Chain A
Amino acid sequence: MECHTSLTLIQESFERILSSIEQRELDDHLLTCKNCRAEAVLLTGVVNAVKETPLEMPSHDFTLHVMDRLPVPVSGFLGIPGDVMRVAAAAAIVVATFLTWLYQDSLIQISKRIPETASIGTDSVSPYFAQIFGSIYGSWQYMATFLPPIDMDVAIPVLSVLIAIGVAQVVLRMAHGFEPVELDEVTS
C-alpha cells in the first residue's frame, strides 16, 4: 500500500468502518511504515482529544439575558390587538392625508398667521411660551435666509403628510410594545 492511500484510509477510519480488506492492508502498512504509524497515532490522538472536549456551559444568567432581549410579543397596546393597531396606523395615514387635502386652504392661512402670532407675544399665550416660540421662530427665520424660498402652498400639505406618517409610526411602535421593528435576518 502506498503512503498516500494509507493516509486517506486513516482519515476515513474516523468516518466509517473500514472493510476487513482495507483494515488488514492498512495494518500491514503501518507495521512497516514508521512515518504513517506516527501519523496515525497523532491524528487519532488529536481526534480523540476533540471528542473528549467537555460541553461548555455559558454564564448562569444566560437564559435570563436572552429572555430580556426577546422582543415583546406583538399583542398590541392597552389591550388592543397588534393587528388592530396596524390597521389603525394605516387608517391614520389615510384620514390625515384626506383631512390635509380637505383643509389645505385653512392650513395655508394658519401658516401665514404664524409670524403675526409670534410678534403679538402675550395676547393669547403666556409670556413664557411666547418667548420660546419667538426664539424658535427667530432662529428659523435666520436659517431661512440661507435657504431657497419655500412655497408654503406646497410645504404645508407635505409637512402635514409627514406628520401623519410620523403618527402612524408611533401607532405601529405601540403595536410592537415600543420594541424596534426589525426585518427578520434569518431565512428558514
Chain B
Amino acid sequence: MDLSEGSRPAFASLIERHKGSIFSMALRVVGNREDAEEAAQDAFVRAFRALSKFRRDAKFGTWLYRIAMNVCLTKARQSRLDVTSIDASAEDDVDSAPLQIPDHGDNPDRLVERSEFKDRVQNMIASLPPKYSAVLTMYHMQDLSYEEMSETLDLPIGTVKAHLFRARGALKKLAITAFEPQELR
C-alpha cells in the first residue's frame, strides 16, 4: 500500500483494521459514544493529512494511536472541565493508607463474574482523569508496552508507570465508593 501518496482505498482498509481499537480507546477516554465517534473520525482525518510525516521505520498502529490519543485527551479535557473536582478526588489519597475494604472472599473472579460489577467498572474508566483512563486502556485493554505508551503519550516511561499505578488505585477507590459494602461481598 502506497500511503504516502494519499491512496484513499488503502486508507479505507486501514480505517477498517483500526477503527475498533481507536474507537474503544476514544470511548474510554471521552466517556460517550457520540464524542468518541467524532474523536475517532478526527483522528483518522488528521492521520490522513499527516501521512507524509509518517516515518517508515515506525509502526503505523502506534503512530495512529498517538494521534488518536492526542485528539481524545484534548476532547476529554474540554468536556470534563466541569468535573475537575471528581478528577481531584480520584487523584487524592491513591498512595495513602488503604481504605476499609469490605471482605469479598478470596476469589476476584467472583467479582468479575457479576455482570453489574464488570459493567460499572467499565463505566468508571471514563470517569477517571483522561490521563488515567488513557494508560489503563492502553496497558490492560490494548496490550501496549511501556515503550509504546511512552511514545504515544510523549511521556517518560517512569511517568507512564506512575500514571498506571495511580490509575489502578483511583479505579479501585471509585469502585469502593460506588458499590455498597454488601454489593462487594
Contact = CB atoms under 8 A, between A and B. Distances in A.
A50 B122 contact: yes
Given A58-B23, A63-B19, A43 B172 contact: yes
Nearest to B136: A50
Interface string A33-57: 0111111111111111111110111
A52 B53 CA distance: 35
Contacts of B37: 58-59, 62
A67 interface: yes
A75 to B, nearest CB: 9
B21 interface: yes
Interface residues of B, number: 64
Interface of B: 5-6, 8, 11-12, 15-16, 19-21, 23-24, 27-28, 36-37, 40-41, 44-50, 53-55, 63, 67, 70, 98, 100-112, 117-118, 121-122, 125, 136, 139-141, 161, 164-165, 168-169, 171-172, 175-176, 184
A65 B41 CA distance: 8
Contacts of A48: 108-109, 111-112
Contact of B98 (A3, A57, A74): A3
Interface of A: 3, 7, 11, 14-15, 34-53, 55-59, 62-63, 65-67, 69-71, 73-74, 182, 184-188
B150 to A, nearest CB: 14
Given A42-B101, A55-B21, A55-B24, 5 more contacts: A35-B98, A42-B104, A66-B44, A67-B15, A186-B67
13 contacts: A38-B103, A38-B104, A42-B184, A45-B109, A49-B112, A50-B122, A51-B141, A57-B20, A58-B20, A65-B41, A67-B8, A69-B45, A70-B48
